[in-house]
Amino acid sequence: MPSNRVVKVRSTGDSVTAQEMRDGIAAIQAELKLSSGFPEEVEKAAADAAAAPRLAELDRTDIEFVTIDPEGAKDLDQAMHIERSGDGFVVHYAIADVAAFVTAGDAVDVEANRRGETLYGANSKIPLHPPVLSEGAASLLPDEVRPALLWTIKVDETGEGTDVDVERALVRSRAQLTYEGVQADLDAGRAGELIGLLQEVGELRLAREAARGGVSLPLPEQELVEVDGHWELEFRRLTPVENWNAQISLLTGMAAASLMVYARVGILRTLPPADPRDVQRLHRTARALGIDWPAEQLYPDFIRTLDPSKPTHAAMVVACTRLLRGAGYVTFNGELPEQAQHSALASEYAHVTAPLRRLADRYAGEICVALCAGTDVPGWVVSAMAELPETMIESGRRANQYENAVVDLCEAELLQGRVGETFAAVVVEVEEKDPTKGDVTIQDPAIEAKVTGSSDLPLGEEVSVKLVLADPTTRKVSFELA
């Protein structure tokens, strides 16, 4: 899934402060040679494809799908329908069929392989595909007939998936819903049957996740809010609806992985077990933020105690993304990989639900369609599998580089008027080569930053630090021990 660590910005739009932020984002994009635009030949190929998609014969426009996304979203990958079946459920999940428009080796495909994924940062977006596809012809917009990969997943009364099938079909979404709107309807008691079933399945899946020792980080949305010419940091917690909706995506990704593992051909999303040193650092971060984490409490259980509506807890959740480092992709054809699991989910898992925004999903989806149809995996997929993990690692590196630069900019903007002030902090990391340098977590504002001292930093201890630099132009923030 696209990272939620990047802040959003709320401002008047025409202030000096807001212009500084826009200029900073533009500078980052220029520095990293990123552009939201596409070469002319890619735009033309995308427009031609949008006008002549390859449509499936199967018509499932009878299923009353809806999409649930953030307000204003246009690149709609997923549409959902759930119905009760005996003691269990049937989940229909329609995923945008990018391969109905993009042909291996064409200009759009080559550019998508170069980009790898959509990049996000502070209200900016560098898309994977031209908007004529990603926000138009391929997007599951309401009241439009669209080609899709239709997943049908049977779920028992405990929330366990028991059967899966995926096939090409035409679908039509009935409504484009928002998380906030659905949550408001639910809270007011006016949500329909579909949302009630989403809640049932979502809560069952969350319970199963806890039972197997997995955890999904409830990453809050960070917002930099302009108030009287300066910035303040706020956190918006995920609504329950967002967590339930995420569980449907995870259910589908796990079903896809089971298909591919059984057939011994596929593309998995993997994550090695957490480094104990990173877990120890998170214990220090919790202490810095004033959050109780008993030594005997396991990490997944600790995460479930956090309330991201509290700024310190939200900052803790963001800090926990450190344990996601090392995530990657592995392809296989004949022999299962030695490391096939996603350790955070405590399960095998595949990315298949966001092909408009992530390249690997198109390939993994094609494999699953072929496996369910009993046909050979397309040659263009097989030939790409060897290089795909490296392509995605490179795009992930680029996404992290962009994200980190945007976060650095936002933190510099947030603190630039407070140079000279002192803050309470805890040293959470000390550099091995130079123990006078390291990282601190500050409680207010809830951020992590670089710090230096005249002597070795006291790892894990509470300290006072003085802000000595906060420069939005260089995106540098640094503290010294007070």
Q: Which string of DSSP letters, residue by residue, matches 214-263?
A: -----PPEEEEEEETTEEEEEEEPPPHHHHHHHHHHHHHHHHHHHHHHHH
Query: Which run of H or of E encompasses 197?
Result: helix 193-212
Instruction: Give the per-residue pLDDT at 12.
Output: 64
Whether residue 227 has pLDDT greater than 90: no
Least trusted range by pLDDT, from 182-191, 318-327, 471-480: 318-327
- Other CB atoms closer than 10 Å to residue 40's CB: what's the count? 9
What CA–CA distance (Å, rounded) separates 123 from 391? 25
Instruction: Report the candidate in 247, 217, 449 with the shortest Cα–Cα distance to residue 313.
Output: 217
Residue pLDDT, tens place only, 23-52: 999 999 999 999 999 999 999 999 999 999
- Cα 197 to chain centroid distance, Å, stands at 24
Judge contact between 17 and 11, C-beta under 8 A.
yes
Domain ranges of the chain: 8-272+326-415, 416-481
Across 81-85, 231-235, 320-324, 407-411, the highest mean pLDDT is recorded for: 81-85
Instruction: Give the per-residue pLDDT at 233.
Output: 78
* Range 248-275 average pLDDT: 96
Contacts of 324 (CB under 8 A, 6+ apart): 217, 271, 344
Number of residues assigned to the chain: 482
Residue pLDDT, tens place only, 366-406: 999 999 999 999 999 999 999 999 999 999 999 989 988 98
Band of pLDDT at residue 481, cut at 50, 70 and 90: very high
Whether residue 20 has pLDDT greater than 90: no
What CA–CA distance (Å, rounded) separates 6 from 399? 11
Q: What is the pTM of this model?
A: 0.90
Share of the chain above pLDDT 70, in %: 98
Residue pLDDT, tens place only, 165-216: 999 999 999 999 999 999 999 999 999 999 999 999 999 999 999 999 998 8
Whether residue 145 has pLDDT greater than 60: yes
Over the range 77-93, which residues count as b (16 or more CB within 10 Å of their CB) and which as e?
Answer: bbbbbbeeeeebbbbbb
- DSSP output for 125-138: EE-SS-HHIIIIIT
Q: SS3 for 185?
A: helix
DSSP state of 334: S
Tokens of 298: 């396991």
Q: Burial-class residue 404 by CB neighbours within 10 Å (0-12, 13-18, 19+).
A: middle
Instruction: Give the per-residue pLDDT at 2.
Output: 32
Judge contact between 311 and 446, C-beta under 8 A.
yes
Residue pLDDT, tens place only, 72-87: 899 999 999 999 999 9
Tokens of 369: 């369609």
Instruction: Give the per-residue pLDDT at 3.
Output: 36
Instruction: Give the per-residue pLDDT at 446.
Output: 80
- Other CB atoms closer than 10 Å to residue 26's CB: what's the count? 11
* Range 284-311 average pLDDT: 89
What CA–CA distance (Å, rounded) separates 152 from 139? 20
Band of pLDDT at residue 113, cut at 50, 70 and 90: very high
Average pLDDT of every residue of the chain: 91
Judge contact between 406 and 28, C-beta under 8 A.
yes
Rounded to 5 degrees, φ, ψ at 379 are: -60, -35
What CA–CA distance (Å, rounded) separates 64 from 238? 26
Q: Does domain 416-481 fall into CATH 3.40.140.10?
A: no
What CA–CA distance (Å, rounded) separates 329 from 270? 6
Instruction: Give the per-residue pLDDT at 40.
Output: 97
Instruction: Give the per-residue pLDDT at 18.
Output: 78
- For the chain, how big is the Rg over CA atoms in Å? 23
DSSP strand pairing (8-10 vs 221-227): parallel
Instruction: Report the candidate in 469, 446, 406, 358 with the shortest Cα–Cα distance to residue 25.
Output: 406
Whether residue 319 has pLDDT greater than 90: no
Instruction: Give the per-residue pLDDT at 62.
Output: 98
Instruction: Report the candidate in 316, 250, 325 with the shortest Cα–Cα distance to residue 283.
Output: 316
Residue pLDDT, tens place only, 415-432: 998 999 999 988 888 898
Q: Which residue has the tokens 């123990």?
A: 435
* Range 450-474 average pLDDT: 92
Share of the chain above pLDDT 90, in %: 70
